Structure 1
Amino acid sequence: MKAFVQDRYGGPEVLALRTVDDPVPGPGEVLVRVRASSLNAADWHLMRGDPYVVRALDRTTFGWRAPKRPIRGRDLAGVVAALGPGVTDLAVGDEVVGEVLAEGAFAELVAAPADVLARKPADLPFEQAAALPLAGTTALTGLREARLAAGDRLLVNGASGGVGTFAVQLAAALGAEVTAVCSARNADQARALGAVHVVDYARSDFAASGQRYDVVLDLVGNRSLADLRRVLTADGALLLSGGGTSQGGSLFGPMRLFAVAGVRARFVRPQRLLAFRAEPSAAMVADLLAMVAAGTLRPVIDRTYPLADLPEAMRYLEEDHAAAKVVITV
């Protein structure tokens, strides 16, 4: 099969399209012929080995000079091509969508655990389906952990990215009053997705606005913990899931903020400081698909690239601050 592989850390130039052996599905896995994938901050973090500290902290994923697994890509939508031993809930020919934590989706074929895959509705294009799993699951997990409810005030820092566009829609559907922090060029999109208020970060500092929010979702990691807590209500929830912005390499990146929040969390109650991580889940993806079918959620796609142009797609994601999702077709 054709797949993009990397043998060392670096920018998009380290991604090389090669012919490699087809993966073989193991027990509980299926072989999926990939029709579409999408890019996430996790992909460039692994591509660059960034922040550097994770190379020492997560030795199952990061090597010293290259990732432990050479093929990037976690989101996928495709067609089941073969079944591994013990798989009974899926059949060859099923159209599926999900997130593969072990990666490998920037390829023609990927072996994926059957229990992270949901059946894709026939009327949902593969490109839109592939935009859902990681970003949608992250947004849904965070808002559920914060116990966001109708009437709550939510601030989303990074509202125009993949997770942000889903978070704005999910919160608006719940009846929350959403404030989106994004660039001026993405303001209309944020309003169209359900934001009541939009803050242009180039013109206004949300931390100095005097406003207070029941929930703050930080997806950027570019503000101090003090700034973020300043805009929380006395019993509000701060959600930290910032992928950060690519600057070509960093020592700690957003992990510094997560660490500080972890230390302070026990001393600032009833405020809740939550550095959360969403796990791949077929049930979560099924929930998101149901919302798409009901018309309360839609994947927002900025650009679509063929697999052969993956390095250019990654460059666009890193350098041009993609609005919403960047999708790869296979």
Structure 2
Amino acid sequence: MKAIVINQYGAPDVLRYEDIPTPTIKPDQVLVKIHASSINPVDWKIRQGLLQPLSGYNFPKVLGCDLSGEVVEVGEKATSWRVGDQVYTFVNPLFGGAYAEYVAVNATNLTYKPQNMTYSEAAGVPVAGLTALQGLLDLGQLRPGQRVLINGASGGVGTFAVQIAAVMNAEVTGVCGTANVEIVKRLGAHTVIDYTQEDFTQQQIQYDIIFDAVGKQSFFNCEKVLKPDGIYISTLPTVDNMGATLQTLFFSNQKCKLVLAQPSRRDLDALRDLIATGKVKTIIDRTYSLSDLAEAHTYSEMGRTVGKIVITVNEGLQTINID
């Protein structure tokens, strides 16, 4: 099969489009023919070598975690799946495998693809959508009527967080750059702050939840704009935020929490249900073919992505499925 392989850590030019063996599945796995994947910052951080203590030093490696596709082989213990099932999920970014034509996936970690989405749209959901859902609902315990601020509201995680918070009938404030203000409003934000014109940490308003989808702030910077029992949630485990997480666990009514998306069929099903209503969708900035992945990584690293960057793999089946 074709895959993107790295034989060393480094710049985008270490990504190689090569032939490698198709994975062999275990009894509790299924083999998925990938139709689309997407870029997450963790992918290129691994490629750069920033996570070497976790990602290891064994090469070659196939990166990538998000995927949507169809089941083509079923392990003897994966009895809930059938060949031809259309699915979506993500695999552990540290082990990767989604920048390829096929990947072996644990049967309990995937679920049916949203029927009203193309494979490309569905591939943009898992990591970003689950980060937003699990951050707001599991860590933030978001309730209707609460005041929520999403920092980085036009990015991959941010666009899902704005939509999910709006669906939950929260009072949503999004923070983004000038060019994306209207997009964030259309996604459901009641108020949008242009960070080039205003620093939200200097406001007089206080929030029940501050969701830092881009990890650009810290709990300590946000303390005064959090309500006395407010929760700050970040996607980036900086030294400051890890320290604040421990400190607030014991010594403060305000809390600092870190979100790391976990594969969950229940949560993927919940996202699929929201998508089915038309209230949540994937915002796609650009689409690249698998062979152009280096260009896609280069663009992602600029930090200007609006929504998601999608990678088409086995092309030709990008239609919406209607039963």
For the residues of structure 1 that align with 2:59 and 2:131, how far apart are their CA atoms?
A: 24
Deviation track 1:133-156 (CA, whole Å, cap 9, x = no partner) reads 111011000111211111111111
Deviation track 1:14-62 (CA, whole Å, cap 9, x = no partner) reads 1110100111111211111100011111111111122xxx433x3xx23
| 1:217 aligned to which of 211, 216, 230 | 211
- Listed as ranges, the gaps of 5+ residues in structure 2 are 314-323
| 2:154 aligned to which of 151, 154, 160 | 160
| 1:275 counterpart = 2:258 | yes
What pairs with 1:162-311 in structure 2 (closer than 5 Å)?
Answer: 162-242=156-236, 254-311=237-294
User: Structure 1 residues 12, 291: closer, same or farther in 2, change over 3 A?
Assistant: same
Deviation at 1:81, TM superposition (A): 1.0
Partner SS for 1:33: strand
Partner SS for 1:127: helix
Deviation at 1:225, TM superposition (A): 2.8
User: What is the identity percentage for the equivalent residue pairs of Structure 1 and Structure 2?
Assistant: 40
Are the equivalent residues in 2 in contact too, given 1:221–1:257 (CA < 8 A)? no
Equivalence for 1:248: none
Are the equivalent residues in 2 in contact too, given 1:150–1:176 (CA < 8 A)? yes
User: Structure 1 residues 97, 2: closer, same or farther in 2, change over 3 A?
Assistant: same
Partner SS for 1:223: coil
For the residues of structure 1 that align with 2:275 and 2:116, how far apart are their CA atoms?
A: 11
Are the equivalent residues in 1 in contact too, given 2:114–2:275 (CA < 8 A)? no
For the residues of structure 2 that align with 1:94 and 1:225, how far apart are their CA atoms?
A: 43
Equivalence for 1:328: 311
Deviation at 1:310, TM superposition (A): 0.8
Equivalence for 1:20: 20
For the residues of structure 2 that align with 1:68 and 1:281, how far apart are their CA atoms?
A: 29
Deviation at 1:260, TM superposition (A): 2.0
What pairs with 1:135-150 in structure 2 (closer than 5 Å)?
Answer: 135-144=128-137, 145-150=139-144
* TM value normalised by structure 2: 0.92
Deviation at 1:211, TM superposition (A): 1.6
Partner SS for 2:82: coil
User: Structure 1 residues 17, 292: closer, same or farther in 2, change over 3 A?
Assistant: same
User: Structure 1 residues 28, 68: closer, same or farther in 2, change over 3 A?
Assistant: farther
Deviation at 1:69, TM superposition (A): 6.5
Deviation at 1:268, TM superposition (A): 4.2
For the residues of structure 2 that align with 1:72 and 1:29, how far apart are their CA atoms?
A: 19
Equivalence for 2:320: none
Are the equivalent residues in 1 in contact too, given 2:174–2:189 (CA < 8 A)? yes
Are the equivalent residues in 2 in contact too, given 1:33–1:108 (CA < 8 A)? yes
For the residues of structure 2 that align with 1:284 and 1:168, how far apart are their CA atoms?
A: 17
Deviation at 1:105, TM superposition (A): 0.6
Bigger Cα displacement from structure 2, 188-197 vs 203-212: 203-212
Deviation at 1:320, TM superposition (A): 4.8
For the residues of structure 2 that align with 1:229 and 1:121, how far apart are their CA atoms?
A: 38
Equivalence for 1:107: 100
For the residues of structure 2 that align with 1:124 and 1:90, how far apart are their CA atoms?
A: 20
For the residues of structure 2 that align with 1:197 and 1:97, how far apart are their CA atoms?
A: 32
Instruction: Tell me the amino acid that sits aligned with residue 117 of structure 2.
Output: L
Equivalence for 1:251: none
| 2:63 aligned to which of 67, 72, 92 | 72
Deviation at 1:259, TM superposition (A): 2.0
Partner SS for 1:222: coil
Equivalence for 1:55: 52
Are the equivalent residues in 2 in contact too, given 1:49–1:62 (CA < 8 A)? no
Instruction: Tell me the amino acid that sits aligned with residue 256 of structure 2.
Output: L
- Listed as ranges, the gaps of 5+ residues in structure 1 are 243-253
* TM value normalised by structure 1: 0.90
Are the equivalent residues in 1 in contact too, given 2:245–2:255 (CA < 8 A)? no
For the residues of structure 1 that align with 2:174 and 2:60, how far apart are their CA atoms?
A: 36
Partner SS for 2:61: coil
| 2:113 aligned to which of 114, 120, 128 | 120
Deviation at 1:265, TM superposition (A): 1.5
Equivalence for 2:34: 34
For the residues of structure 1 that align with 2:202 and 2:186, how far apart are their CA atoms?
A: 26
